[in-house]
Amino acid sequence: MPFCHLSFGVKIRKAADLVEVKTLGDAIRKRRLELGIVQKDAAVRIGCDVMSIINWEKNHTRPSVNHMAAVVQFLGYVPEQRCDTLAQRLVAHRTTRGVTQKAFAEELGIDPTTLARWERGEREPTGRFADLVGSAVG
């Protein structure tokens, strides 16, 4: 207006800056927005269908173990997981690699039921298995 000497400045924020990351789905959405891609493109990069991305971003579901390695690669980091106990470290190590309990048990040379008990914290590995698990999960 010709008679007004005031001007207003607007700071434009990126959509990714508006996403508060509290869950894995939030992290996926934030990364997708940072890259400036649509959900379909994110699905192609991760190797899943578009509905999976939608459900993850809305926190209706979480990525299955077979998608976790691709999700970690897409994010560029390993999502934070509690790792206070050996059981939690085992689960985190296995899932970030995208490995099922059965496949990880085969790698360790144990029965999948034994691994499941370790991951639930019902039992802990002993003897050579303790050393083997310790070297696997750090």
* Alpha carbon distance 89, 87 (integer Å): 5
The domain segmentation of the chain, as residue ranges, is: 16-75, 86-137
Same-fold call for 16-75 versus 86-137: yes
CB 108 within 8 A of CB 135: no
* Alpha carbon distance 118, 69 (integer Å): 22
Class of domain 16-75: mainly alpha
The letter for the amino acid at 130 is: A
The model's pLDDT over 85-108, given as tens digits with 9 standing for 90+, comes to 899 889 988 888 889 999 999 999
DSSP code at position 18: G
Q: How many residues does the chain have?
A: 138
The model's pLDDT over 2-58, given as tens digits with 9 standing for 90+, comes to 566 655 554 555 666 677 888 999 999 999 999 999 999 999 999 999 999 999 999
- Collapsing DSSP to helix, strand or coil, 80 comes out as coil
* Alpha carbon distance 64, 100 (integer Å): 10
CATH H-level superfamily of 86-137: lambda repressor-like DNA-binding domains (1.10.260.40)
